[in-house]
Structure 1
């Protein structure tokens, strides 16, 4: 297995997670109730909601590195429109959980595919949007991934990145973090390198926003919630394992110490 499979696929407690969801929410969970397990990126469901405002209601959307599919469920919950939404992830256990959770929630029409973001199984001009939410950081060959994204995007399409980048004090980076248990599983790059790669692959940068400070505030609030006596039924540890408390603490420290930054980048193929 690849290192990504090892990191994200080791839990594979599908039945345990589904039983926990059904016991906590027998009438079916909402996207907000599922957020502790399927909105594991820095910023949580509020960051996802902010990102989805960039997407038209009826579009062809490909999400690379979709995990448990929280962004797709939130999209259908917010937009109430039919759209082609493809969830693609290299880790098959995550896709199995995504599909199983979909059966517990309001029906929608997302497709779920196990595939590599560095070799997309789609024709040219297949999508209006490609979304990556904390997934480029797990892709070693970013040049190849961006080439593939440029190929499958329509001429007027958009690539939307909500990503973690190296900060000015990356040397102080602490592991484990949610996307990597050790340094050689993490493929963070600097903003300058990301923008250069995008331009090399024919993208025009439409906008770039720094979301670091609001991400730090969010992570601080999450730590305060975790320290409360009463624990929620669903927690990130169900997916990321017992080390999640250390991961969350490290993310907060890494943000505060400027070891990492959170950005949103919107780019279009030329």
Structure 2
């Protein structure tokens, strides 16, 4: 294909992807109140301002700031839901644009990574949503007893979105490690040798990524990532063993059988006429 053909192909894929996002955004806009209720469900909200004042900092008054804030919030929630809802379409369009430049084996691995990466990201996002109530209660508990905590919905939506993205991308770590192993860049032995540094790095990342300072939220993120890291080590070890058996079968030698070629310390007793 010429450059102009590639550009026309890209334009067609972009039109289909953006059209799918627009359609799902419009559909989500019809149910934006239900979506907002779903987003703010983890917040320990107070029914009245007076209850928030005398609530010993255990709840907050959920509010919006300004006249245009509800409209902005509705657009933000609808667009976020539209991008997530249309993800199968725009991921497929991206795949169709890149597929002509890939070999058959590369296409197979790409489909396998997509089939694994999407569920891992969704699992991380669901885990983040499950941790949000605990995170919100811990953060609100720092409110002074004589103060009323006003909880803007916009701020909490930004916090929830950041946690969902961070948790979802964190769950992609084992997929990245397995991909490097399949490419021959990283071996299972080296991955296993890094376990102390990996556990320490995962704990530090979880402490930075989680907005609350409670150990429960830290363990909620660090624990699953560590388990997935160990699972990636196991998958890489199986792949390394399979690759070693394949290489051994190709040479007809066992891994412990020495080569029959003469070494530097052994004289070559072949006839003079056969030497090259």
TM beyond 0.5: no
Pair member with larger Rg: 2
Please give the TM-score of this superposition, normalised by the length of structure 1: 0.23
The structure with the largest helix share of the pair is: 2
Please give the TM-score of this superposition, normalised by the length of structure 2: 0.22
The structure with the largest strand share of the pair is: 1
